[in-house]
Amino acid sequence: MTRIIADISVSLDGFVTGPDPGPENGLGTGGEALHTWAFSDDPDDRRVLHEGTVRSGAVVLGRRLFDLVDGPGGWDDETGYGAGEVGTPAFVVVTSSPPPAVRLAALDWTFVTTGLPDAVTTARGRAEAASTSSGKDLDVVLMGGGALIRSAFDAGLVDLLSLHLSPVLLGAGTPLFTGAVPRTLVQRSAVPTSTATHLTYDVL
């Protein structure tokens, strides 16, 4: 069965970027430390990264994050989603206005202008089709940014939360859950490494 999984790295004080994020500084000041685990040689970090990308049938992201990954300093063959891990899934972008052109034209992009629930529905359809084609269950991964994941939680769209808790205090930045609608979570796993604690929760 296709699940909707929110997957994001967060600081100990609850931020998914550092202060002053922007087009030239996507993760904000100090925010790169949130993703140290993704480039680690620790076997547990590598396993978490592999398992997270191999289950992806479709990925949902917001327009600001799309502009970062498709921008001049964004993804390439070595740093794109699941680079070196698995084949690339379909990408669904929530936006009020699709871009006039896409730099990463080799990737499968769909732009949804009718809101997050419709984007998730579109991504679920793509993931289910990929599941049928591959013969294994694949999921929809909400990769962010923080506002998109918080909105998905508030709308009751998330089945599972995958948090990568980085041992850093950023002090300010983009908060993940401040002001969120209350939800009950059930912890399913905790994997500590030298660079992060990888936590998964069922969302009730």
Helix axes 116-134, 146-154, angle to 10 degrees: 90
Contact 139, 5 (CB under 8 A): yes
What is the pLDDT averaged over residues 30-43?
Answer: 95
Q: Is the pLDDT of residue 26 over 80?
A: yes
- For residue 70, the one-letter residue type is D
pLDDT at 83 exceeding the cut of 70: no
The length of the chain is 204
The CATH label, of 3.40.50.2300, 3.40.430.10, 3.20.20.70, 3.40.50.1000, for the domain at 4-12+29-179+186-203 is 3.40.430.10
Quick count: other Cβ atoms within 10 Å of Cβ 89? 25
pLDDT tens sequence across 89-142: 999 999 999 999 999 998 999 999 999 999 999 999 999 999 999 999 999 999
pLDDT at res. 86: 60
Cis preceding-peptide flag for 145 (omega within 30 of 0): yes
Mean of pLDDT values over 144-171:
96
**Which stretches within 81-159 are classed as H helix?**
116-134, 146-154
On the question of pLDDT at 166 being above 90, the answer is yes
Model pTM? 0.94
User: In the chain, what are the domain boundaries?
Assistant: 4-12+29-179+186-203
pLDDT recorded at residue 73: 86
Q: Please give the angle made by the CA atoms of 174, 148 and 67, to the nearest 5 degrees.
A: 80
Q: What is the token pair recorded at 55?
A: 């289950």
